[in-house]
Amino acid sequence: MKLSVAVLLFSILQYASGQPDSRGFISIDCGIPENSSYQDLTSSIIYVSDHGFISSGENRNISSDYISPSLAQRYYNVRFFLDGTRNCYTLRSLVAGNKYFVRAAFYYANYDGLNKLPVFDLYMGATYWHEVKFRDAGAINWMDIIVVAPADYLQVCLVNKGMGTPFISGLDLRPLKSTLYPEANASQSRVLTNANRFNMGPTDKSVVRYPLDPHDRIWLTYGAIPTWNEASATSVVRNYLTDPYDVPSAVMQNAATPSNSSIINFSWDPSDHSVNISSRYFFVFYFAELQSVASNELRQFDIIVNNSTWNKKPYTPPYLFADSFSGMVQGQAQYDISLVATKNATLPPILNAMEIYLVKLIDEIATDPGDARAMIAIQEAFGVCKNWMGDPCAPKAFAWEGLDCTDPPTGIPRITALNLSSSGLAGPITTSFGDLKALQYLDLSHNNLSGSIPNYLGQLPFLVFLDLSSNDLSGSIPYSLLQKSHNGTLSLRLGNNSNLFGNGTYYGSGPKKMDGALLSAIIIPIVAAIALFVIFIVLLLRTLKEKARRRVADPKDETTLLENREFSYRELKHITNNFNLEIGKGGFGAVFLGYLENGKPVAVKLRSESSSQGGKEFLAEVNGNELKELDVPRFHLSSPHEI
């Protein structure tokens, strides 16, 4: 007893974190209070709250008018979804590539008091599963799907299509061996609608499920048919090692057989308005001989579906071993099945069980699993509301707001852009952003993100735009981001972040982080330097202007300046072109024409040693005053017009 209690508590604790139990089962009672659970008395299965599997919706009890002693507890309440077009459950901790059996159950029972039957759609991930519709308020509707998980999680989504509020009563997941139902694979699933899994023998309303069926398939009785008899056995009906369907002995121990004829005839109507000419159904018929047949007796028959014989040779079921025939049919409103005894048979045909599945192609390619996991983690980390439910990119009609995804004709959609600007994000930047390996554009501006900028953002290979402005980020900027920004491969926006520095640059909001003393220490020296610079420029301009004015006002000023300048003999030779042109003679000697550097013509008076006048007179003429005699030749410059 103590061991049973311990196992029960362990399973409940696992469920509290959204994990499968020790058998790999996930069993959810949708609509019971958070963190509550119970054990079903009939099946011994532990059912838990859907808290941790979904973050939207509301709980409500069904109308008391629809509660009966035989009603299972899981149908007493529902979770319904008034908001959002798509609301999804996420079933985690699975194994990518493994096969799973999933059941969704619905019991309207006028839970909303409207007494109006809703119609809505059910999706498995990105792929349409089936429409959910009710024949009356007291009818339980459940449907199964056999699917290969494309990732380590599966998502079951309810979609509002404007015909009433979606709701759900229960959700189950059961693992299957990969050898079971080989027809279900990564490209197509098998959908069981309208409870089309039958135990053909019993005439009562008995139900076989877990633990009699280890996979928890629900086997209903086909119903009493006046022309049929029930055959049964107490011996165990075993399965072959290669049996692809693993039907339980509790089902195979019963069979239907015709009472007064050698033929079993019946028809099956899909009762599904969605069926069309392209719809395909997968039939599986199960057979086992339940009585020891004498040597002089023979049970032998043909299996005919819509006038097509499925067995290549007359068929005889094996004794106490489960056997099966399966096949595909397409595009019919009604299917006729006949088991016809051969002319050599002495015993009528038998049929133990039957399953009928709608074939569903995986026509919507889900988002890359790594990208999808990252987005789910981001949603959970920040509590993003928006329409972030189900697959991020598919179907396109339900793609998450703020995302851009690739849409390749072949291949898996990848997330290339994520805009979460002004989305109320708070706390550190989650590492999950670094798992978006195809990301090119990331905008996290105008939020309340804090802490440092993680290094992994600089490792995203295709990132060309990153906006982290207007947050509360601090610390240094990763070198990889700065390097990409400097070489022009990344547009990086970091403004208005308190205490964020990178490469000597402060990226804070500025004045709101500076006190008065700091402002004075920075601004006053700058203003003083600017003032000194302006004064210097003004004085320089004034000086230059004055010089220019003087040159314009008195053209002789420049000549006077030149006349008072000493020239070397070599310079005078250059000015006069080696005393080439003599233009006159005076009392001191010859006068030559020359040109200064600015092109102005001048007269060069050269005192001759033979001149009758002395050197003092010559200097007096040059300088206008008495000078002591020099031992070098003297020259006088003047305008030629003065000669």
The DSSP code sequence of 81-115 is: --S-SEEEEEE-S--TT-EEEEEEEEE-TTTTSS-
pLDDT averaged over the chain? 85
Say if residues 222 and 216 touch (Cβ distance below 8 Å): no
In angstroms and rounded to an integer, the radius of gyration of the C-alpha atoms of the chain is 50
What is the maximum span of the chain, computed from C-alpha positions, in angstroms?
Answer: 175
Q: Check residue 265 and give its pLDDT.
A: 93
Q: Of the given ranges (1-15, 42-56, 250-264, 491-505), which has the lowest mean pLDDT? A: 1-15
Cα(86)–Cα(464) distance, integer angstroms: 32
Handedness of CA 111, 112, 115, 117 (dihedral sign): negative
Q: Which carries the bigger pLDDT value, residue 191 or residue 547? A: 191
Look at the chain and report how many structural domains it folds into. Answer: 4
Q: From CA 526, how far away is CA 293, in angstroms rounded?
A: 111
Q: Collapsing DSSP states into helix, strand and coil, what is residue 15?
A: helix
Does one domain contain both 418 and 442? yes
Domain with residue 441: its CATH number is 3.80.10.10
Dihedral, 306, 308, 310, 314 alpha carbons, nearest 10: 110
Q: Distance (Å, rounded) from C-alpha 333 to C-alpha 277? A: 9
CB 96 within 8 A of CB 151: yes
Strands (DSSP E) contained in 164-262 are: 167-168, 170-176, 188-192, 197-199, 207-208, 219-221, 228-232, 238-239, 254-258
Pull the structure tokens for residue 273.
Answer: 């308005």
Residues 454 and 483 in one domain: yes
Per-residue pLDDT for 244 more than 80? yes
- Rounded CA separation 83/165 (Å): 9
**Residues 473, 608: one domain?**
no
Query: Is 473 in the same domain as 592?
Result: no
Tokens of 620: 């007096």
Task: Determine the pLDDT at residue 596.
Answer: 74
Strand partners, 315: 301
C-alpha 412/C-alpha 405 separation (Å) is 10
Angle at 144 between CA 139 and CA 146, to 5 degrees: 175
Tens of pLDDT, residues 373-425: 999 999 999 988 889 999 999 999 999 999 999 988 778 999 999 999 999 99
Are both 414 and 535 inside the same structural domain?
no
pLDDT at residue 453 greater than cutoff 80? yes
Asked if residue 317 is part of any domain, the answer here is no
Whether 483 is in a domain gets the answer yes
Q: What DSSP element (H or E) covers 122? A: strand 119-124
Sheet of 448-451, strand order: 426-427, 448-451, 472-473
Q: Point out which residues pair with 119 in neighbouring strands.
A: 163
Same domain as 592, residue 581: yes
* Strand blocks (E) in 200-300: 207-208, 219-221, 228-232, 238-239, 254-258, 263-268, 280-287
Give a yes or no: residue 637 inside a domain: yes
How high is the pLDDT of residue 521?
A: 45
Q: Which domain-ending residue is among 553, 576, 606?
A: 553
pLDDT score, position 8: 46
In a domain, 487, yes or no: yes
What's the pLDDT at 591? 79
Q: Examine residue 287 and state whether it is found in any structural domain, yes or no.
A: no
Banded pLDDT at 260 (limits 50, 70, 90): confident
CB 187 within 8 A of CB 362: yes
Range of the domain at 449: 369-513
The mean pLDDT of 266-293, rounded to a whole number, is: 87
Whether 386 and 490 share a structural domain: yes
- CA nearest 606: which of 624, 585, 628, 623? 585
Decide if 351 is inside a domain: no
Q: Are residues 436 and 481 in the same domain?
A: yes
Same domain, 638 and 624: yes
At residue 203's C-alpha, the angle toward residues 198 and 209, to 5°, is 40
User: What's the pLDDT at 528?
Assistant: 63
Distance CA 191, CA 101 (A): 10
Distances (CA, A) of 467 to 354, 401, 403, 450, 643: 59, 18, 15, 14, 83
Dist. CA 481–CA 464, nearest whole Å: 10
**Looking up tokens 């390619």, which residue turns up?**
365
pLDDT band at 11 (very low <50, low <70, confident <90, very high): very low
In a domain, 199, yes or no: no
**DSSP result, 299-341:** B-EEEEETTEE--SS-B-PPBTEEEEEEEEEES-S-EEEEEEE
Among 98-112, 218-232, 276-290, the range of highest mean pLDDT: 98-112
Where residue 59 falls among pLDDT bands split at 50, 70, 90?
very high
Q: What is the DSSP string of 255-276?
A: EEEESSSSEEEEEE----TT--
Phi, psi of 241 (to 5 degrees): -60, -30
Give CA–CA dist 60/602, Å, rounded: 116
How far apart are the C-alpha atoms of 587 and 136, rounded to whole Å? 143
Pairing of strands 415-419, 441-443: parallel
Q: Print burial letters for 430-449: b (CB count within 10 Å at least 16), e (below 16).
A: bebbbbbbbbbbbbbbbbeb
pLDDT at 210: 96
How far apart, in whole angstroms, are the C-alpha atoms of residue 586 and residue 149? 121
Could you tell me if 469 and 549 lie in one domain?
no
Pairing of strands 140-148, 99-107: antiparallel
Tell the burial category of 16 from Cβ atoms under 10 Å away from its Cβ (0-12, 13-18, 19+).
middle
User: Which of 244, 254, 266, 238 shows the shortest CA–CA distance to 325?
Assistant: 244
Q: Would you say 281 and 357 are in contact if contact means Cβ atoms under 8 Å apart?
A: yes
Last residue of a domain, one of 176, 201, 235: 176
Separation CA 583–CA 594 (nearest Å)? 10
Asked if pLDDT for residue 554 goes beyond 80, the answer is no
Looking at residue 63, its amino acid is S
CB burial of 174-191 (b: ≥16 within 10 Å; e: otherwise) equals bbbeeebbeebeeebbbb
User: Taking the C-alpha atoms of 178, 179, 180 and 185 in order, what is their torsion angle to the nearest 10 degrees?
Assistant: 60
**This prediction's pTM:** 0.74
Four-CA torsion 574, 579, 582, 585, nearest 10 degrees: 110
Q: What angle do CA 487, 493, 498 make, to 5 degrees?
A: 125
- Is the pLDDT reported for residue 589 higher than 70? yes
Estimate the share of the chain in helix, then strand, then coil, as percent rounded to the nearest 5: 20, 35, 50
Query: What average pLDDT score do residues 492-512 get?
Result: 70
The residue among 373, 356, 327 whose CA lies nearest residue 149 is 373
Euclidean distance between CA atoms 232 and 255, whole angstroms: 6
Domain CATH number, residue 157: 2.60.120.430
Query: Is 517 a residue whose pLDDT tops 60?
Result: no
Output the pLDDT for position 616: 53
* Local structure of residue 475 (DSSP, 8 states): E
- Residue 475 above 80 pLDDT? yes
> What angle do helix axes 516-553 and 556-563 make, rounded to 10 degrees?
90
Whether residues 596 and 536 share a domain: the answer is no
User: What residue has token string 């629809």?
Assistant: 66
* Chain CA centroid to CA 436, Å: 7
Specify whether 423 is located in the same domain as 571: no
pLDDT surpasses 70 at 289 = yes
Tell me if 191 is assigned to some domain.
Answer: no
